[in-house]
Structure 1
Amino acid sequence: MLDTVKNARVNGLDLVALGETVEAIQADASKALVTFDVTTKWSGQTRSETTVDGYTLGGERIERSHKIVADEPFELLGSDGAPNPQELLMAAFNACIMVGYVAGASLKGINLESVEIKTNGQLDLRGFLGLSDAVAPGYEAIDYQVRIKGDGSREEFEEIHQTVMKTSPNYFNISRPIRVNGSMQLG
């Protein structure tokens, strides 16, 4: 598929660079390993600040610097100074699958006019507050709808949709249980 679009840039994506990355990973599987890590600190009330200072790709540390702020709305005891963790979870999910839709369309040579993903989920606060062991503290389901417009056919967009659901890291992370290993230190 990449061979047919050499030297192409579709929807802003450099398909030659993508092809080179795929070839490098096919030649050496260790180049496919990527480790992300973040540090979150409490900054009062329900507010927290997360620092992203880099990641490791194929054994090489790549420095970067970003800050993500989270807070709760007034009604949930926060100061409403930033999105809450549930909104950030959905934003991370949407952003990850967005990459899949754009990359999938680009690899097929489809020029996009727009892509919009709307996601929602309903929580029962009785679970979070520990008021009922019968109520889950998280989502039982998350629903999302993708609105995509471009010069592709319905069949091409459906194929992209199926591929995103099969290959997106955050689709995988949210749709299946993953092991979470927690520890605590005092001080």
Structure 2
Amino acid sequence: MSIERIKESLRQVAQHFAEHPQDALSQDRPATSVLESGLRCRAEGPNGTVLVSDMPAPVGGTGSAPSPGWLLRAALANCDATLIAMRAAQLGIVLTHLEVAVGSESDDRGLLGLSDSVPPGPLSVSVVVRIAAEGASPDQLHELVRWAEKHSPVSDAVRRAVPVTTQVTVQ
């Protein structure tokens, strides 16, 4: 899709939501995961979307697919890259290179429940953005990335404590 088409699409949706703010609130489509075998899970979503995860062999999986933790990092990398590209289009900045790498540091004792003082999730997350654009200054590109990270839904979910509810149905 061209930068002009992205810019126009974003302008139209922003104008619609400004005029009809009630339309901006929605229930996100659920991802439903089913255990296939061992630790391999298959999540299904809208339009036949499928995502498979597995754990590495040292914790009992077969390593046949990425771990859920890697998928979280990939979701953050893709979301930040998407938001950077969207904002660049809004500003008329033509990106010539964009790469977002997300890493994390974890302590697997938390995952295994070996210590209540160790969280099961990442201890820290790092985002590295490599970006280039025609005619844009380094300051403009830094501001573009700051704006995108501030508005990235996945980045927000990782950075902010989000209320989670769990309902269990025993069959």
TM-score class normalised by the smaller sequence: over 0.9
TM-superposed deviation, 1:137: 1.3
- 1:50 to 2:43 alignment: yes
Q: Does the aligned pair in 2 maintain the 1:97–1:168 contact within 8 Å? A: yes
- 1:182 to 2:154 alignment: no
Q: Does the aligned pair in 2 maintain the 1:13–1:103 contact within 8 Å? A: no
Q: Aligned equivalents of 2:57 and 2:111: distance in 1?
A: 17
Match of 2:142 in 1: 158
Equivalent residue letter for 1:16? E
With over 3 angstroms needed to count, the CA separation of the structure-2 counterparts of 1:13 and 1:153, relative to structure 1, is: farther
Q: Which runs of 4+ in 1 moved over 2 A?
A: none
Query: Which has the larger strand fraction?
Result: 1
Gap regions ≥5 residues in structure 1 = 1-7, 54-63
Cα RMSD (Å): 1.6
Gap regions ≥5 residues in structure 2 = none
How does the TM-score come out when normalised to structure 2? 0.92
2:98 maps to which of 102, 115, 121: 115
How does the TM-score come out when normalised to structure 1? 0.85
- Post-superposition CA distance 1:112-167 (Å, at most 9, x none): 11111111112111111111122111112101100011112111111111211221
- Post-superposition CA distance 1:60-98 (Å, at most 9, x none): xxxx22001111122232111111000000011111111
Number of residue pairs the alignment of both structures matches: 169
Match of 2:61 in 1: 78
Match of 2:88 in 1: 105
